[in-house]
Amino acid sequence: MKNIFLAGALLVCQFSWAQYTDINIVKEVKVKNKGVVVSAHPLASEAGAKILKMGGNAYDAVVATQYALAVVYPQAGNIGGGGFLVGVKNTGEKFTIDYRETAPAKASRDMYLDKKGKANTDWSQNGRLAVGVPGSVAGFFATLKYGKLPMKKLIQPAIDLAEKGFAITEQEANLLNVHQEIFQKHNASTSMAFVKNTPWKAGDILVQKELANTLKLIQQSGAKGFYEGKTADLLVSEMKKGNGIITLDDLKKYKVVERKALEFDYKDNHIVSMPLPSSGGLLLAQMLKMSGYENLEKYQQNSAQAVQIMIEAERRAFADRAEYMGDPDFIEDKTAYLISDEYLRNRWKSFNFNKATPSSEVGKIIPQPKESTETTHISVIDKDGNAAAVTTTLNGLYGSKVVVSGAGFFLNNEMDDFSIKPGVPNMFGAVGGEANSIQPHKRMLSSMTPTILLKNGKPYMVVGTPGGTTIPTSVYQSIVNVVDFKQNANISVNAPKFHHQWLPETVMAEGNFPATTISELAAKGYIFEKVRQLGRTEMILIDDNGNIHAVADGRGDDSVAVE
């Protein structure tokens, strides 16, 4: 049974689909004086809400939700990947936690080049050499200092889900079936939970005993239960089965970085987002500020005028991403300059309502790598007003496709987010710049954009989405839908979206995007490509009276849970 409904207001719709077994997918809630969790899977959202009911706060809930996603959403939820957290406490304190993966000590600038100097993207995307040092578990523990409950309680819902199993959906069954061959190619273990002799089907119970045992080691021994001891030994042993280069020393030395949040104002809102090595917050600041010069509120949502302004803001911001952005511990961080009014007004001078701006006129032709879209986002606010926005990833679907034998979790393929050879296209036809080249211990550039908007010093919006390089543009559109076009959370999240990233010149637009807008802009030289979907945004809005409106994106099985 799959139920889709609006809680706290009115019943929207209810379906009885045979491929779901008693999974309640709550798309929208309106509540007050309660905490809410929005994530990519109803069981994960419920795990976070359970922690809120136990007296935990938003930061406890977001940890529990992330652990649960590692079980029920293995294509992107993880303990073998990394992510970013943006938090605003009810005291006004703002913080970010960077637990992005890092390049192993043995990594080198040309490690994915063959003997002829040609980039081999298969090495950077599949198998053990593609794996960066995981940061997720360290990030979960770093979040504890802002929470109230011990990790032993926060991880228990995930242990229960892994040990007892859960019914998979038709979509999940299809994904597992499609990946059976590549799972078998990269994994020798016959005990792997994700492979079986007959095809997966909706309603099958996915039990992950090895993962449950790994989670128990973390529960018992803390972060050392992952970065040292049995789990670390199993991970390094997995590396040695192929050409992986992560060592026990890499795992033991992994460090989370707490960074100063990227903050800026837009209209009457104070925006708190993620700084480098996430390009997302910087891109968001640039795009909002540039489009602000044209007073977007004068136009209608998804009108030709509004979309043209936004496309051109996206074009200029992504050109800067390619040239200037990377790990701030390894490059000169030019954030302050890139979001300054002086720089952006000069950048905007070439905007012309009569025609598309050629991308060659706004940046050097060094396009950024195209990230996989398989990230996942969580938005949380608790009854006391603490807010958390977290985006986390394995990079590709199921990451490197490698499961740590005996430990039961997928490893990331984040090394592909580096420029594996500056100036040479990767498999997606995108090229990276020198700022994002591979170096030992360096964090690869990301587009993840967990973001919190404040009004009068209090959280007003908590928002984020998966989607690779489409993440910043989806968050950008979600914000202006609310702030400029005065839409509610539901319309903002589910309205048809578009995306432009400087190169290629093509503008991607969802299939239900207004045809009249596309036609008007095509006459000005814009080229559109229809795509099935862009992102899966999770949004929470809080009004001045404390009323909470939370929406899970209708593009997937995303769901809201209330404490």
Q: What is the pLDDT of residue 171?
A: 86
Do the annotations mark residue 468 as ligand-binding? yes
Tell me whether residue 100 is annotated as binding.
Answer: yes
Give the CB-side neighbour count of residue 347, counting CA atoms within 13 A: 26
CATH of domain 280-371+468-537: 1.10.246.130
- Flag whether 543 is marked binding: no
Mean pLDDT in order along the chain per 10 residues (563 residues): 43 31 84 97 97 98 98 97 98 98 96 88 94 98 98 98 94 94 87 91 96 98 98 98 97 98 97 98 98 96 98 96 93 97 97 95 67 86 98 95 97 92 49 81 96 97 95 98 98 97 94 98 98 96 96 95 97
Provide the pLDDT for residue 322: 87
Task: Note the Cα 15 to chain centre separation in Å.
Answer: 29
Q: Which tokens hold the place of 419?
A: 């420029």
Residue-level pLDDT at 8: 43
- Cα dihedral value 193, 199, 205, 211, nearest 10: 10
372: phi then psi, degrees, rounded to nearest 5: -65, 155
Spatial distance between the Cα atoms of 227 and 245, rounded to a whole number of angstroms: 15
Measured CA to CA, the distance from residue 479 to residue 460 in angstroms comes to: 11
16 is in an annotated binding site: no
pLDDT of residue 369: 55
Distance in angstroms (rounded) separating the CA atoms of residues 42 and 72: 9
Are the C-beta atoms of 206 and 135 separated by less than 8 Å?
Answer: no
pTM (2 decimals)?
Answer: 0.94
> How is the chain split into domains, by residue range?
45-258+375-436, 280-371+468-537
Helix (H, G, I), strand (E, B) or coil at 59: helix
CB 318 within 8 A of CB 312: no
> What residues are paired with 5 via a beta bridge?
26
Neighbours of 268 (CB within 10 A): 11
Whether 375 sits among the annotated catalytic residues: the reply is: yes
Which among 179, 246, 256, 254 has a CA at the least distance from the CA of 411?
246
Catalytic residue among 121, 214, 375, 451: 375
| Maximal C-alpha separation, the chain | 64
Contact assessment for residue 136 and residue 100, using Cβ atoms and an 8 Å cutoff: no
What span, in angstroms and rounded, lies between the C-alpha atoms of 138 and 255? 7
